[in-house]
Structure 1
Amino acid sequence: MPDRIPLVFLPGLLCDERLWRDQARDLADIADSTIADLTLDDSVAAMAKRVLDGAPERFALAALSMGGYVAFEILRQQPERVTRLALLDTSAAPDAPERTAQRLAGMESLRLGRFFGVTARMLPQLVHARHVRGLVGEEVKAMAKRVGGDAFLRQQTAILNRPDSRGVLGSIVVPTVIGVGDADVMTPPSESAEIHRGIAGSTLHTFASCGHLPPMESPEETSALLRRWLASK
């Protein structure tokens, strides 16, 4: 049996290992997977350093949303260690002013009260309407509660202070796949299209009837996409 590919998964905001659970399982025959913990630091630089300190010498990197911001930072710090790159539902650009204001308001409300995680009102921002009432919606809410309020504040601080990564795109030369849900309102398809245009030779995949979390909303399709990516030259 050939050696399995070292693969590091990076979760998004308020996400833990559940986000990538199905892909780690589905790809176990070809990939030796690690799901990073991005709950401990309040800057993308520190998150990236922690991932690099615990990662194999060289590895494939798959990231979603906030994880994508950390992936870009890894490529700033030690690009020679990344053998291939998958970026799902993320952005290389800084937040627009209104998004920054929303993040700050959410952080302030948490400081003044109790952490409610992903509420029923927020859930349609994260998953397609078909998942709002059902198992995926419940698992998203449970995942956010496990991550908790303290980590949420650290992660939002990191996101707010992240650098503009659009200048990194032209330097990426490893096999790269970009994926996005067609109904993603958090990081719309236009953001993924910008990344695709910036990375020469990258491929762009759109998940139909899917929101911000394809690994949970469309797990089989996500695993199949990553399997093709891991086999690409």
Structure 2
Amino acid sequence: MTNLLFLPGTLCNSAVFSNQITTLTNAGHRCITLEYGEHDNLNHVAEHALSLFAAHEQFSICAFSMGGMVAFELLTRCPERIDRIALLDSNAHADKPQGRTVRNEHLNYAVEHGLDRLIHDYFSSVYLSSPNDEIMGLIAKMAKDTGIARYKAQLEILATRPDASELLANCSHRMLIMGGCDDVLCPPTEQQRMHQLAANSELVLIKHAGHFAPLEQSDKVNLHLYNFFGGAAHA
């Protein structure tokens, strides 16, 4: 049995990977999802992630969105323990100059109106390739379950993350870089850039998928992850 660590994105939990976890558990992997606490820096989040395993235990990573930033921190800290990495709708750049200002606006809105309203009022038009009330309801529920304190900590992580371009350029790990063709938050151009940086990577762009490709096109994402990670016998 191989260890597969799932790293959710901002305002997400294991539900964002529910279909992928089912597929890969059935393939024989031991699937573990990092549940974010109130850690507000990547160093502490990485320590929390490593506490889920025994000392020196090997694992692979499947990371979505902000989870990719945690994956890069783990790759920096313990590259010898990581087998392979799948990055879904993520990015490797540092925060943009206006990022903190925009996110503070989001935080203030969430404090006043609730995290579920933040999702519907700010992000329903950019998260998906086409409208889907069921998926947006799940995303809003994950946000509400996260709560303001954890959301505030996650925003600090996003604001202070380092650029990981050099890390990718020096990485020899097998890597799957996957994103939605209609993702406006982590667009195909960024997926292509990361693929060009990481010599041992493969690139998959999913049609009819926005930022939440694991939910919007779960069957396609599942197939590519299964082919990448294989059955447990592969390792």
TM-score (norm 1): 0.91
SS in 2 for 1:60: strand
Residue matched to 1:160? 159
Output one character per residue of 1:60-114: Cα deviation in whole Å (capped at 9) or x when no partner.
1010110000000001111111100000111111122233331132234445x24
**Cα deviation, residue 167, structure 1:** 1.3
Partner Cα separation in structure 2 for residue 19 and residue 32 of structure 1: 17
Alpha-carbon contact 1:8-1:55 (below 8 Å) kept: no
User: What one-letter code is carried by the residue in structure 2 that aligns with 1:22?
Assistant: N
Partner Cα separation in structure 2 for residue 181 and residue 98 of structure 1: 24
Larger mean Cα displacement after TM superposition, 13-22 or 38-47: 38-47
SS in 2 for 1:130: coil
Alpha-carbon contact 2:8-2:66 (below 8 Å) kept: yes
How many residues matched?
A: 227
**Cα deviation, residue 203, structure 1:** 0.4
User: What one-letter code is carried by the residue in structure 2 that aligns with 1:51?
Assistant: A
Aligned-pair identity in percent equals 27
Residue matched to 2:19? 22
TM-score (norm 2): 0.91
Residue matched to 1:77? 77
Partner Cα separation in structure 1 for residue 95 and residue 169 of structure 2: 20
Partner Cα separation in structure 1 for residue 139 and residue 30 of structure 2: 25
Alpha-carbon contact 1:42-1:154 (below 8 Å) kept: yes
Partner Cα separation in structure 2 for residue 55 and residue 65 of structure 1: 22
Residue matched to 1:191? 190
Partner Cα separation in structure 1 for residue 115 and residue 58 of structure 2: 38
Structure 1: runs of 5+ lacking an equivalent: none
Residue matched to 2:129? 128
Residue matched to 1:53? 51
Partner Cα separation in structure 2 for residue 120 and residue 106 of structure 1: 10
Partner Cα separation in structure 2 for residue 150 and residue 115 of structure 1: 12
SS in 2 for 1:129: coil
Alpha-carbon contact 1:175-1:229 (below 8 Å) kept: no
Matched, 1:225 2:231: no
User: What one-letter code is carried by the residue in structure 2 that aligns with 1:48?
Assistant: A
Structure 2: runs of 5+ lacking an equivalent: none
Larger mean Cα displacement after TM superposition, 185-194 or 7-16: 185-194
Output one character per residue of 1:24-54: Cα deviation in whole Å (capped at 9) or x when no partner.
1111122110011123311111111110121
- RMSD, matched Cα: 1.7
